[in-house]
Amino acid sequence: MRALSFHRFVASAFALALAACAHVGPDFERPGAPAVTAYRPSGDQPAPVDYTQDRAADEWWRALHAPALDRLIDQALAHNPTLAEAEHTLAAAREAANAERGTRLPQVDATADAGRQKYGKQFLGPLAAPPAFTYY
């Protein structure tokens, strides 16, 4: 009987704690949408897009003036594989996965042999020796 009352106490305490948390905090109101008619201020002309990439734009991290970062990125770029090398590595990994997957399938092996055999008196004792036979 005591265990039942303890369980009721725990359940009612949990329900009370859960109900106490339901209405905590101020009542927030969702802000209205801003009255924006364009993504840039009016009268601002968009800059012409230059699709040619210069070296300075490609090396944006140099603007941070962090020699350790420069060395790290230079090392990464020097040891970075080309796209063709990466494709070959991916193809090799796929083939290795296919080969490994094949080892989990049932394996079948077969051999064949033929020969001629004759049993002597040591094998059969006093019985008559059978003639020689061919086995496959």
- In the numeric block, which tokens belong to residue 128? 């008559």
Q: What is the average per-residue pLDDT within 70-93?
A: 86
Tell whether pTM > 0.85. no
Cα–Cα distances (Å) from 60 to 51, 56, 81, in that order, read 16, 7, 21
Report the b/e string of 76-102 with b at 16+ CB within 10 A.
eeeeeeeeeeeeeeeeeeeeeeeeeee
The pLDDT of residue 96: 93
Contacts of 27 by beta carbon, 8 Å cutoff, 6+ apart: none
Across the chain, what does the average pLDDT equal? 77
The secondary structure of residue 61, as a DSSP letter, is G
The pLDDT of residue 59: 81
Q: What is the average per-residue pLDDT within 79-107?
A: 87
> Which tens digit of pLDDT belongs to each residue from 1-31?
565 687 788 888 877 777 766 666 677 788 8
